[in-house]
Each structure stands twice: as C-alpha cells, then as structure tokens.
Chains A and B, each alone.
Chain A
Amino acid sequence: MESAIKTIVTTYLGSSRGKENLSGSAFQKLVKKNLSGVMEDTNCSSAVKEMQRGLDENQDGKVSFQEYLTLIGYVANSISQQKCGSNADASQ
C-alpha cells in the first residue's frame, strides 16, 4: 500500500516536473498515458478538458496536486464500487 501511494505521487511529480501545477497539456498527457485503461475517451482532448474543468476547484485552469488526488479518489472509488457490484452479482 505504501508503494501504491508512492506511485500516485511520483506519477504526478513526473508530469509536473518540479512545477507546482500541471498545465492543461501536461494533464492531458498524464491522463492519456496512465488512465486510458480505466477511463473512456482519454484520447479525446475535449473530454479530458471537460474533466479538467470539473476538477478545477480554484478555477485557475491548471491541475494542482490536490485536484489530481480528487480525480484519483474518484476513479478508485468508482472502480471499487464496480467490483463490489460484480462480486454481489456473482454470489447470487
């Protein structure tokens, strides 16, 4: 679990390259490279942009580490729910 947390952090830092926030294009690349297996439409730049707007709590047009974590939390939660749902189906 600790290595999972490290991966989450280093993935972000690898994309931000020392800057405090991810620019729109860096975020696009991050999503496309790392989340295309679990999310639809990661190749569609307008869909990713839409998602970025949804995350952007402070409306600065960039993605901060906190905003990135919101996305990770959301995705992990969705996958977890999906798994629980399919387990429940299987046990019936």
Chain B
Amino acid sequence: MCVCSTTSKLGAAVRAGPEYKICLTYSDLCSTFLPLLCQHSPRLCTIKHNSATMPSELENAMESLIKVFHKYASKEGRSGTLSRRELRELMENELSGFLKSQKDPAAIDKIMKDLDTNGDGQVDFEEFVSLVVGLSIACEQCYQMHMKKGKK
C-alpha cells in the first residue's frame, strides 16, 4: 500500500473552506480513501470492560461514532449492519457538512461496494471504520493546510 501517493492525491481532492469545512464528492471519496482500508492488528491491548474515570474527549468521540453507527444499523434488517439505505441515510444526515450531497444512486452503490469487503451486501462496524479513517485523513489534510497558511 503506497500511502504517500494516496495522501497527496487526497490533498488535491480536499478543498478547505472558511471553517475547516471539507467538501468532497462521493467520487473523490471512492477514488482516494477507500483503497486505504484499514488493517486491524489482531491484539494490540486489552480493552477495559468498565471504567470509573471520566472519559476523555477522544473516548467520547469513539463512543459517538459507535452510537451513530448503531442508531442507523438498527433501523431495519440485520441490526448490527448497515444496509444500502441505512448507509445512505447515515451519510445524508450525519456527514452533510463533510460530503457534498449527490443524488447519484450509483455513487452510493460504489461506496457500498468498496466498504463491503466481505461482500455480504451489508456494512458492518469494522467496514464502517474504513469510512471514518478516510474522512479523518481528509480532515487532517485540511487542518495541515490551514496551519501552514496560518504560519505565513
């Protein structure tokens, strides 16, 4: 996997707006991030079952990603996975500021196909994480661009 070429391509695809807004089209998303499907190492560290301490911002962020996924995944059909319609609703409602809305059904089909690595026609949480990774990379590029501008 060549990370450098994909991230630089991504940099070209991302246009930063006034308030760190990411505007991407679905086709940008398809062609640039989805090849970067993340690989999970089998066991990195033990996850705690219950925690008494206050969650950090990062932990809250992960929690809200999980909540968003399950909110849409539980709507219809299999409850632990996103169907095509659920994925579309999630992207329209939760990512409208990041992604340019496109009414092209083929674009959703393409994203669905790229995310669905095990080919069961559904997007499970692990596959959904790939989308989050892609968006995070785009978001990071935006911030970097702004920081460089700020330094001048």
B12 in contact (CB, < 8 A) = no
Minimum C-beta distance from B109 to chain A (A): 22
Contacts of A10 in B (CB 8 A): 143
Chain A residues touching B, majority SS? helix
Give the bracket for the number of chain B residues in contact with chain A: 35 or more
Q: Is the CB–CB distance between A65 and B140 below 8 Å?
A: yes
Once A and B bind, how many residue pairs between them come within 8 Å at the CB atom? 151
For A11, the chain B residues whose CB sits under 8 A away are 57-58, 61
Interface 0/1 of B83-100, CB less than 8 Å to A: 000000000001101100
Are the C-beta atoms of B137 and A2 separated by less than 8 Å? no
What chain B residues lie within 8 Å of A12 (beta carbons)? 140
The answer to whether A25 has its CB under 8 Å from any CB of chain B is no
Residues in B neighbouring A26, C-beta threshold 8 A:
none
Q: Is the CB of B53 within 8 A of A36?
A: yes
Q: How far is the CA of A23 from the CA of B73 in the complex (A)?
A: 37
Contact for A18 among B44, B97, B135, B147, CB less than 8 A: B147
Q: Would you call B49 and A82 a contact (CB within 8 A)?
A: yes
Q: Closest residue to B132 on the A side, CB-wise?
A: A5
Q: Does residue A90 face the partner (Cβ distance < 8 Å to B)?
A: no
Interface contact A74-B94, CB-CB below 8 Å: no
| Chain A residues whose CB sits within 8 angstroms of the CB of B51 once the complex forms | 37-38
Residues of A contacting B136 in the complex (Cβ-Cβ under 8 angstroms): 5, 8-9, 65, 69, 72
Interface string of A47-61 (1 = CB under 8 A from B): 100010011010000
Taking beta carbons and an 8 Å cutoff, which residues of B are in contact with A? Answer: 3, 20, 36, 38-41, 43-49, 51, 53-66, 68-70, 80, 94-95, 97-98, 125-126, 129-130, 132-133, 135-137, 139-140, 143-144, 147
Question: 5 closest A-B pairs (Cβ-Cβ)?
Answer: A7-B61, A4-B61, A34-B58, A1-B94, A73-B129
